[in-house]
Amino acid sequence: MPPVVTRIYEDVLRRNPGEVEFHQAVREVLESLAVVLTRHAEYTEMKTVERICEPERQVIFRVPWQDDRGEVHINRGFRVEFNSALGPYKGGLRFHPSVNLSIIKFLGFEQAINGMNVGGRRLVTIPSDLAYGPQGQGPIPGDATLTFVLDLVEVTG
């Protein structure tokens, strides 16, 4: 990986220790964006990818319940919400005892390409008020709406 991508990935690892599923999803996206991030310093200067990798909100809550024998159990529920600039948050709540925060973050992060087929394209638009603001950055003018084109080239693993 190019140094700029390695730096972003190492920051994700540091901020999210032990979340291997989430790390995997971020690494795959970073590898696919490496050429763009290397050629366009303005995206790394404004930490565009770091913003996408950081959830807007994470909620962990308890879910007490009683089984048919009257025994009380306590599960954890999770909700992770990434980028509201893409529209309403997708997904739901997860209560299963095998689920952990890393899995939920993985699922939420992967939503951007969910349902795409190889050869498919998705546009991700970030409105100007959530992008660089009135001052702009480098070649990006003030109050610009950012549009990223995601092409699904290959599915591995």
Is residue 139 in a domain?
Answer: yes
pTM of the model: 0.65
Distance CA 36, CA 148 (A): 11
What letter would DSSP give residue 68? T
Distance CA 136, CA 127 (A): 13
Residue 120 lies in domain: 3-151
How many domains is the chain partitioned into structurally? Answer: 1
Q: What is the β-pairing status of strands 146-151 and 72-81?
A: unpaired
pLDDT tens across 32-58, in order? 888 888 888 888 888 888 888 888 888
Is residue 157 in a domain?
Answer: no
Residue 117's domain is classified under what CATH number?
A: 3.40.50
Predicted local confidence at residue 45, as pLDDT: 85
Is residue 101 in a domain?
Answer: yes
Q: Is 86 helix (H, G, I), strand (E, B) or coil?
A: helix
Phi-psi map region of 141: left, alpha, beta (phi>0 left; psi -120 to 50 alpha):
beta
Is residue 156 in a domain?
Answer: no
Q: What is the mean pLDDT of residues 16-21?
A: 92
Beta partners for 66?
Answer: 72
Predicted local confidence at residue 12, as pLDDT: 94
pLDDT tens across 110-136, in order? 765 555 566 666 666 666 665 667 777
